[in-house]
Amino acid sequence: MPDLPTPQDATEAALFSECWDAVLSYADLCTAGSTAAQQLAREAFALGLREAREAEAGTRRSAGRRSPVLPRIPLLLTAVRTTAAAWEAEGQGHKLDPDLRLWLNSEKAARYTGPPLSRPIALRGLRDMQEPDAALLWLAEVESLPLSGVARRLGLDPAAASDELDQVRGLFRARCHRNHLDTPLGAECRGYVRLLDAVTRSPGADTPEDLSRHLATCVDCAEAAACLRLHGGGLPSALAGGVIGWGGLAYLERRRRAAEVRLGVGRPDGPDTDNEATKAAATKARVARNGLLVAAVLVSMLALAVSMMPFGSTGDDVAGGTDADRQPVADPGPSLSLARTPRSASPSASPSARPSRTPSGAASTKADDQHSQSHPQGTSSSTAAGASAPEPTEKSEPVTCKVTYDLVNEWPDGFQATVTVTTTEPLDTWRLAWSFRDGQQVGQMWDASVSQSGSRVTATAADYNKTVPAGGSVSLGFLASWHGKNTAPVDYTLNGRACG
């Protein structure tokens, strides 16, 4: 498995933890196989990190004046596109998706790197905003993160986050309107500028027939209309397509579905969560409800259903595979959440389980509570053949930590996950261990060093995150392989003591 980027300090580690899964998701869209996706994501992450450092240094040199820079995730996604273009120019285009190669050699791609006034309206509008405002808009609209999670990530008051987002949407609209006026426009386009502004301000306003015909033939005005119309749910598509370019809509749909999966597995369902009859009934209802949606759109959205395969789907096909394998530029349409179901642990039965910060800001879920009930803390549980026994714990010791486990992404032979531990006692170093039940093998880990003996995995603190205050949390991420089943880990211990 390819080496992952190695964070050099706490800032880089936080950037990696928040953004890696987004970078890898878009890189997978852009490539013809999972190995190429990993390579593209690593190179793009390194490029984006350099650009972020240069932008920060430029701001310091200009005595605090902000230079135009995108927020972290769109900056790194742009680096993926830039790296893909470099591959094409260097003769490595066979590693890329065939549709992306056509796009990279078209005039559409040239718009994203050409003269500033010719670039997409959404890209210019987002760059013109203060970075915290632009980050709020991107995380809430494109990454589909819960607003409470976005507020925690950005240090905002959760109670005021909704009002803050409305103000930022209005600010983005104003920037896009100004950029539309600054764009070199023909006489016909300039004649529609005021009418377009007025129509898009009102959620119930009808588009005049002549303006509708104009928008169907003018790319600049159509892009401006998508950015100016804040009602009707078109803003995420305008942002994703305008900033990322090729594959923007498919990326948007992936992030929506990933958020739905994580919220589904991380939401506490009350004390009856572990009741098998309740689980079966909930599953049957969910399948029936989603089945109606799939049946309604299946005929007209067949190509879309293929393009929206779960992250990392097969992915090892050669570049000459059929175009039906994926069509990232298709209109995402309704979210087909039934296309991917989580393989992580069942939802926690404890009412105290709450969403925690993860690389994508979505909710985490505790390890399988049902297994914990059948193997109480302080007793050993059976593991796979050849596995070492869990670390011994004293049954009388109080539980001083809590662990949440988040399955970030999964593909046919591997997955990415995040583990977060919260401690009630201060730590000057830490060693977190757990057991896999299905023979999973960790290949790479960040924010900790890793060792594995049989099914038992031990993660040891890095120098920059070994100190944790009382009530604090620390997270680590890893890539691992799986075959057959991929249930969540069990039997967590922190420094040899059992975790809840």
CATH number for the domain including 451? 2.60.40.290
User: Is 66 contained in some domain?
Assistant: yes
**Does the pLDDT at position 20 exceed 50?**
yes
**Does the pLDDT at position 311 exceed 70?**
no
Same domain? 421 vs 478? yes
User: Is 348 contained in some domain?
Assistant: no
Same domain? 223 vs 286? no
User: Is 267 contained in some domain?
Assistant: no
> In Å, how far are 246, 358, 365, 470, 499 from 399, measured between CA atoms?
49, 23, 18, 14, 6
**In this structure, what are the phi and psi dihedrals at residue 357, rounded to the nearest 5 degrees?**
-70, 130
Residue 278 vs residue 59, higher pLDDT: 59
Same domain? 238 vs 280? no
> In Å, how far are 7, 59, 128, 452 from 465, measured between CA atoms?
12, 28, 35, 21
Residue 4 has a pLDDT of 57
Same domain? 405 vs 488? yes
Split at pLDDT 50, 70, 90, the class of 57 is low
User: Is 252 contained in some domain?
Assistant: no
Residue 219 has a pLDDT of 84
User: Is 354 contained in some domain?
Assistant: no
- Residue 387's SS3 state is coil
Same domain? 64 vs 173? yes
Residue 366 vs residue 132, higher pLDDT: 132
Range of the domain at 304: 273-317
Residue 286 has a pLDDT of 40
Average pLDDT over residues 273-291: 40
Q: Encode pLDDT of 85-110 as tens digits.
A: 999 999 999 999 999 999 999 988 98
**Does the pLDDT at position 135 exceed 80?**
yes
User: Is 98 contained in some domain?
Assistant: yes
- Residue 425's SS3 state is coil
Residue 217 vs residue 259, higher pLDDT: 217
- d(C-alpha 422, C-alpha 252), whole Å: 31
Same domain? 390 vs 307? no
Same domain? 194 vs 302? no
For the chain, give the percent of residues with pLDDT over 70.
Answer: 67
Which helix (H) or strand (E) segment holds residue 415: the answer is: strand 414-423
Average pLDDT over residues 223-245: 86
For the chain, give the percent of residues with pLDDT over 90.
Answer: 29
Residue 181 vs residue 274, higher pLDDT: 181
Q: Encode pLDDT of 392-425 as tens digits.
A: 444 445 568 999 998 887 877 788 888 999 999 9
Rounded (to 5) percent helix, strand, coil in the chain: 45, 15, 40
**Does the pLDDT at position 136 exceed 80?**
yes
Residue 290 has a pLDDT of 41
User: Is 282 contained in some domain?
Assistant: yes
Instruction: Write down which residue in 201, 225, 243 finishes a domain.
Output: 243
Same domain? 289 vs 218? no
Residue 362 has a pLDDT of 37
Residue 69 vs residue 447, higher pLDDT: 447
From the list 35, 48, 49, 47, the residue with the least C-alpha distance to 3 is 35
**Does the pLDDT at position 456 exceed 50?**
yes
Same domain? 78 vs 182? yes
Query: Which of 151-160, 223-232, 338-347 has maximum average pLDDT?
Result: 151-160
Same domain? 105 vs 202? yes
Same domain? 403 vs 293? no
Instruction: Write down which residue in 256, 282, 317 finishes a domain.
Output: 317
Q: What is the mean pLDDT of the chain?
A: 73
Residue 240 vs residue 204, higher pLDDT: 240
Same domain? 238 vs 290? no
Q: Encode pLDDT of 319-378 as tens digits.
A: 334 433 443 433 333 333 333 333 344 333 333 333 333 333 333 333 344 343 434 333
Instruction: Write down which residue in 243, 264, 285 finishes a domain.
Output: 243
| Total domain count, the chain | 3
User: Is 375 contained in some domain?
Assistant: yes
Q: Where would I find the H helices in 62-160?
A: 72-89, 98-104, 107-110, 121-127, 131-141, 147-154
Residue 454 vs residue 364, higher pLDDT: 454
**In this structure, what are the phi and psi dihedrals at residue 95, rounded to the nearest 5 degrees?**
-85, -10
Residue 412 has a pLDDT of 76
User: How many Cβ atoms are within 10 Å of 96's Cβ, its own excluded?
Assistant: 21
**Does the pLDDT at position 237 exceed 60?**
yes
Give, as one character, the DSSP assignment of residue 380: -
Residue 434 has a pLDDT of 95
Q: Can you give the pTM of this predicted structure?
A: 0.55
- d(C-alpha 458, C-alpha 391), whole Å: 10
